[in-house]
């Protein structure tokens, strides 16, 4: 399996029909970032071990010059950490967010141990939202900080950015007194989950069926087919923002 930007190689092969479930992902750079010659600022990661499936999407802050760096690294860190620590789902969101913030803290200080540089590094590289989908046995959980979307067996949950289109970034727990807590968007049993960055927001608001069609007829199970379907959708709808999705299917 050859990684693509924002991807991570799973801890075990995906989609082999071994009764452990399946993970698939696709990502599209938005037209506005193509126009301004900027990178895709989304990241994603897929990870699994026996009995555990984990998918993460992240979305870097567009007003910062290099937020895709932290977004992609954080997706990898969070997916691997959750895969190793997914035992009790009820307290996982806060534990995972605290682990993520501790990792960001160590990374920012390691680059140059001065308060000014610490703040600069966090703001330049680590302002991102995240969504994490987890399946342990027959139970599933979706949690995160920030906007985007969640599909639970086809049912859409839209996540708003909040006032002034300013989502709560995880790094705010290190930069301010606001310390936003992760939100649980779903917990229970589901055959299929999908998590999406906010590049799908306009479609989810006006024509959600176009997003749901990405998963029709099981074609999404093939990563290359899902990516092609997303490319066609992005061209047809002229998606201006980066759009990334991860699909998690239980056994």
The model's pLDDT over 3-47, given as tens digits with 9 standing for 90+, comes to 344 443 333 333 333 346 899 999 999 999 888 888 999 999 999
CA of 188: how far to CAs of 139, 154, 235, 240, in Å? Answer: 5, 15, 35, 34
Mean pLDDT of the chain: 88
Distance, in Å, from the CA atom of 230 to the CA atom of 240, rounded to the nearest integer, reads 13
Q: 196 in a domain, yes or no?
A: yes
Residues 6+ apart with CB under 8 A from 162: 147, 168
Evaluate whether 41 touches 27 at the Cβ level (below 8 Å).
Answer: no
211-226 pLDDT per residue, tens: 999 988 777 889 999 9
- pLDDT band of residue 203 (cuts 50, 70, 90) is very high
Evaluate whether 78 touches 56 at the Cβ level (below 8 Å).
Answer: yes
Number of domains in the chain: 1
**Given the structure tokens 């966090």, which residue do they identify?**
122
H or E stretch covering 129: strand 128-136
Q: 13 in a domain, yes or no?
A: no
Q: 7 in a domain, yes or no?
A: no
Q: Interhelix angle for 92-111 vs 115-125, to 10°? A: 120
188-202 pLDDT per residue, tens: 999 999 999 999 999
Q: 125 in a domain, yes or no?
A: yes
Question: How big is the CA angle at 139 (ends 159 and 92), to the nearest 5 degrees?
Answer: 65
Cα–chain center distance at 106: 22
Order of all β-strands in the sheet with 128-136? 42-49, 52-60, 128-136, 139-145, 183-188
Interstrand relation of 148-152 and 42-49 (parallel, antiparallel or unpaired): unpaired
- pLDDT band of residue 251 (cuts 50, 70, 90) is low
SS3 call for 134: strand
- pLDDT band of residue 169 (cuts 50, 70, 90) is very high
Residues 6+ apart with CB under 8 A from 18: none
CATH code of residue 75: 3.60.40.10
120-165 pLDDT per residue, tens: 999 999 999 999 999 998 899 999 999 999 999 999 999 988 777 7
| pLDDT at residue 1 is higher than 90 | no
pLDDT at residue 11, rounded to an integer:
34
Residue 90, token pair as written in the block: 């009820």
DSSP-assigned letter for residue 106: H
Domain range for 171: 22-249
| pLDDT at residue 106 is higher than 90 | yes
Q: 8 in a domain, yes or no?
A: no
Q: 39 in a domain, yes or no?
A: yes
């Amino acid at each position: 399996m050859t990684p693509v930007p924002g991807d991570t190689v799973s801890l075990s092969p995906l989609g082999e029909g071994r009764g452990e479930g399946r993970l698939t992902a696709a990502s599209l750079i938005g037209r506005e970032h193509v126009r301004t010659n900027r990178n895709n600022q989304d990241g994603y990661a897929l990870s699994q071990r026996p009995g555990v499936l984990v998918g993460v999407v992240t979305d870097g802050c567009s007003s910062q010059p290099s937020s895709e760096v932290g977004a992609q690294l954080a997706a990898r860190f969070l997916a691997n950490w959750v895969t190793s620590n997914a035992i009790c789902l009820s307290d996982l969101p806060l534990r995972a967010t605290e682990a993520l913030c501790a990792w960001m803290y160590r990374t920012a200080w390691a680059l140059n141990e001065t308060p000014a540089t610490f703040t600069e590094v966090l703001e330049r590289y680590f302002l991102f939202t995240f969504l994490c989908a987890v399946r342990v046995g027959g139970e599933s959980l979706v949690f995160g900080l920030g906007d985007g979307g969640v599909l639970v067996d086809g049912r859409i949950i839209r996540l708003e950015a909040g006032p002034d289109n300013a989502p709560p970034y995880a790094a705010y727990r290190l930069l301010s007194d606001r310390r936003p807590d992760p939100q649980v968007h779903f917990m229970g049993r589901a055959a299929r989950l999908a998590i999406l960055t906010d590049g799908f927001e306009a479609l989810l608001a006006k024509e959600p069926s176009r997003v749901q069609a990405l998963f029709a007829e099981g074609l999404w199970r093939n990563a290359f087919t899902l990516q092609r379907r997303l490319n066609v959708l992005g061209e047809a709808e002229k998606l201006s923002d980066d759009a990334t999705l991860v699909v998690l299917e239980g056994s």
